[in-house]
Structure 1
Amino acid sequence: MKKTKVATEKPTAIDLFSGCGGLTQGLREAGFNVLAAVELDPLAAATYALNHRDVVLYNRDIRTVTAAEIESVCGLEAGQLDLLAGCPPCQGFSRLTHNNKRQRLDDPRNRLIDDVGRLVRALLPKVVMLENVPALTQYTRYLEFKRELRRLGYNISDQVLNVADFGVPQRRRRLVVLASRVGKIDHLQSPDTRRTVRDAIGDLPAAGESGDPLHDIVESRSARVRAMIQAIPKNGGSRSSLPPTFALKCHESSDGFYDVYGRMNWDDVSPTITGGCINPSKGRFLHPEADRAITLREAALLQTFPARYKFALTRGKYAVAEMIGNALPPAFSRAQASAIRKHLSTSSPIA
């Protein structure tokens, strides 16, 4: 594998569990030189490569990636890397899984945090940033991960943040772990720069005729579902406003999930964009005005991906929706990375 030349004028970073590239996009927007990334899923890796061609990409299981090969390919020695960042798969810590203790403990993805620790021990980056769902804080392996970082001389701060407070037009609570061996590190104070659904997607052309394949994929719904969607009030309406004749059988026996078949509100943030974001039966994913679910491009914009960000469609639209929903919003990672970059420029090694 060809070696990457380290750009000395920019702080360096490596992205673990990179997915389709949301974290890397934010890091690069904040001025980091992302040297390498690791991603197991072939479709996510293909999407990553479409947008970040100059980054060394390991399309492999992280358990097979060694610090020695990263150092060799990236031209690094232990202690030189500025930032090691990653978002281990969070499905094993999700709210629904968290209620199933056996499934939560047995999910093999939960153990991938051990490989983050393995790479930290060998690479000794100046700063580590980890992002995940809040439930991670209750996991014993996470507690051991923090103890190991402290033994290595890292100062740690972890905090649950809402991405809506950092310019992302959606509600999404994430645990952000910061660890530094070059000084005390604190989380960025929320600038409370709220953006709305209108800010993100209000200026898009009509879906179906834009020339953007992510915005033009045609929906296929039954006549009854189409009629139900048309009857839901515009700009924030929900299925609770519908007459009983539109009630779906699957909803008659459930008092929960009120947001399904709900519309987004133009002047509010969106709900959390998930892997089901183009399916109105999965949440409040109907367009504020148009009688359809949001498109893949609208979902990506609500996640703050650039308007021209490319996504590989080789496995169909639902696989792309899953990638978008699993991504870390670039605007959120850019805000955190900007604070880390300032920390790196003003801190000195701990005595």
Structure 2
Amino acid sequence: MKSVDLFCGAGGFTEGLRQAGYNAILANDFDEMACKTFSYNHPEVPIVCRDIARLSVQEVLEKTGLRKGELNLVVGGPPCQGFSLAGRRMIDDPRNRMFLEFVRIVEGLHPHAFVFENVSGIQTMQKGEVVKAIVAAFEDIGYNCEYRVLNSADYGVPQKRPRFILIGSRSNEKIGFPSPTHGAVTGQARLFGDSLQPYVTSWEALSDLPIIEQGQGDEELSHSGDYFNQYQSARRGNRVPGKIFNHRATSHSEKIIERYAAIPEGGDNSQVPEHLRTKKVNVYKIHSEMPARTVTCNHRTDLLHPKIPRGTTVREAARLQSFDDDYRFFGNLTRKAKWVTQDDQVGNAVPPLLARAIGLHLKNKMGW
């Protein structure tokens, strides 16, 4: 099973597909730090680090040694803000460029299937007309399309992260979507033989990581080797055994620490005493007994550790995204640099366990 990852970012989709048995044969992104992260973690996968508009189908075929129609799968999540439509059709507008480049590559490679992923809010853009236009664009190049919003927590990710997933195939049969493996399992459900495993909670994901206070940590630490559950054991990885990367906490002022300490688990900045409040409300403290909220690109200031009054580290965010401990992220922690930050790479990534579930489902349905 061979795959190509467009707009690959840090490589979350490729990582999940790797775990599902796929062989990534090419990736593309324009950001140098994202490409560095991808290449470090997937050294066997060639990556073209440039604007997709300057990536030709012929170059992809030459680099992969494939002919049109031989590839199994193309995946990608082009940015889709501000679509410009004419009725229900895409038009040649700069705001549509990234999406149309994705369509161009899919048409040229003509894979057996593709996966287009995006934010769940894409369904309501322009009262649903954007999704209709997206589907029409793929149908025009010969694909049958199905789409659904999948919750990452349903597939073992310790995070309630909804993602819009559109699957297109050359098959006339319905492909469908992977069945959930996790859920809110009650005692009654277990009594009647429910096959779902309980959601992985944020504390089940984080509790074995080295305890560091604000301003502490490092880009490379040694792990104790202890783990307390199956999820933690599975996240050890085998690239660099015993190592944890990117576990460095932001320094906070005493007033910010006091404010963070006052926020209850599962609560936000509006619940602190009035003298500690700011105009910013979207600061959330993770509830340790539930999957986390969506990890964003601002997690070090907006998504707080459930037990320690500080923002989450890149490693903690990566754990909540289901990356292995030895999956290393490169780049700055601030946005003063030209390239995307470590936070951006983690926050924008497809959770590997969600990608793995999609890959295994396609493998089964497509007979690969």
TM over 0.5: yes
**Structure 2 partner of 1:223:** 254
Letter of the aligned partner of 1:325 in structure 2?
A: G
1:249-260 to structure 2, matched below 5 A, reads: 250-251=279-280, 257=281, 259-260=282-283
**Structure 2 partner of 1:270:** 292
Q: Identify which range, 126-135 or 26-35, moves more after superposition.
A: 126-135
1:179-194 to structure 2, matched below 5 A, reads: 179-184=168-173, 185-192=175-182, 193=197, 194=199
Residues 262-293 of structure 1: CA deviation (Å, up to 9, x unaligned): 321111011110000011xx3xx111111211
Q: Is the contact made by 1:113 and 1:142 (CA closer than 8 Å) also made in structure 2?
A: no
Letter of the aligned partner of 1:239 in structure 2?
A: N
**Structure 2 partner of 1:20:** 10
Secondary structure of the structure 2 residue equivalent to 1:53: coil
**Structure 1 partner of 2:320:** 302
- TM-score normalized by the length of structure 2: 0.78
The structural deviation recorded for 1:213 is: 5.0
Letter of the aligned partner of 2:112 in structure 1?
A: K
Task: Decide whether aligned partners of structure 1 residues 14 and 296 sit closer, same or farther in structure 2, where only a CA change above 3 A counts.
Answer: same
Residues 293-317 of structure 1: CA deviation (Å, up to 9, x unaligned): 111100011011111101113x335
1:52-131 to structure 2, matched below 5 A, reads: 52-90=42-80, 92=81, 108=94, 110-131=96-117
Task: Decide whether aligned partners of structure 1 residues 239 and 154 sit closer, same or farther in structure 2, where only a CA change above 3 A counts.
Answer: closer
The structural deviation recorded for 1:155 is: 1.9
Q: What is the aligned counterpart of 1:171 among 160, 183, 191?
A: 160
Secondary structure of the structure 2 residue equivalent to 1:125: coil
Letter of the aligned partner of 2:318 in structure 1?
A: A
Q: Distance in 1 between matches of 2:208 and 2:28?
A: 35
Task: Decide whether aligned partners of structure 1 residues 240 and 144 sit closer, same or farther in structure 2, where only a CA change above 3 A counts.
Answer: closer
Unaligned runs of 5+ in 2: 85-90, 183-196, 223-243, 336-340
**Structure 2 partner of 1:6:** none
Tell me which protein shows more strand as a share of its residues. 2
Q: Distance in 1 between matches of 2:348 and 2:298?
A: 10
Identity score, percent: 33
Q: Identify which range, 62-71 or 190-199, moves more after superposition.
A: 190-199
The structural deviation recorded for 1:191 is: 2.5
**Structure 1 partner of 2:202:** 197
Q: What is the aligned counterpart of 2:346 among 291, 314, 324?
A: 324
How many residue pairs get matched?
311
Task: Decide whether aligned partners of structure 1 residues 308 and 152 sit closer, same or farther in structure 2, where only a CA change above 3 A counts.
Answer: same
Q: Is the contact made by 2:10 and 2:35 (CA closer than 8 Å) also made in structure 1?
A: yes
Secondary structure of the structure 1 residue equivalent to 2:367: helix
Q: Identify which range, 198-207 or 238-247, moves more after superposition.
A: 238-247
**Structure 2 partner of 1:158:** 147
Q: Identify which range, 111-120 or 323-332, moves more after superposition.
A: 111-120
Secondary structure of the structure 1 residue equivalent to 2:315: helix
Unaligned runs of 5+ in 1: 1-10, 99-104, 252-256, 347-351
Residues 304-336 of structure 1: CA deviation (Å, up to 9, x unaligned): 1111101113x3356111111011111111101
Q: Distance in 2 between matches of 1:304 and 1:40?
A: 24
Q: What is the aligned counterpart of 1:214 among 241, 246, 254?
A: 246
The structural deviation recorded for 1:144 is: 4.0
CA-atom RMSD, angstroms? 2.4
Q: Is the contact made by 2:113 and 2:170 (CA closer than 8 Å) also made in structure 1?
A: yes
The structural deviation recorded for 1:106 is: 12
Task: Decide whether aligned partners of structure 1 residues 156 and 223 sit closer, same or farther in structure 2, where only a CA change above 3 A counts.
Answer: same
Q: Is the contact made by 1:84 and 1:127 (CA closer than 8 Å) also made in structure 2?
A: yes
- TM-score normalized by the length of structure 1: 0.82
Q: Is the contact made by 1:114 and 1:141 (CA closer than 8 Å) also made in structure 2?
A: no
Q: Is the contact made by 2:245 and 2:328 (CA closer than 8 Å) also made in structure 1?
A: no
The structural deviation recorded for 1:33 is: 0.5
Task: Decide whether aligned partners of structure 1 residues 150 and 45 sit closer, same or farther in structure 2, where only a CA change above 3 A counts.
Answer: same
Q: Is the contact made by 1:214 and 1:295 (CA closer than 8 Å) also made in structure 2?
A: yes
**Structure 2 partner of 1:101:** none
**Structure 2 partner of 1:311:** 329
Q: What is the aligned counterpart of 1:147 among 130, 133, 136?
A: 136
The structural deviation recorded for 1:154 is: 2.0
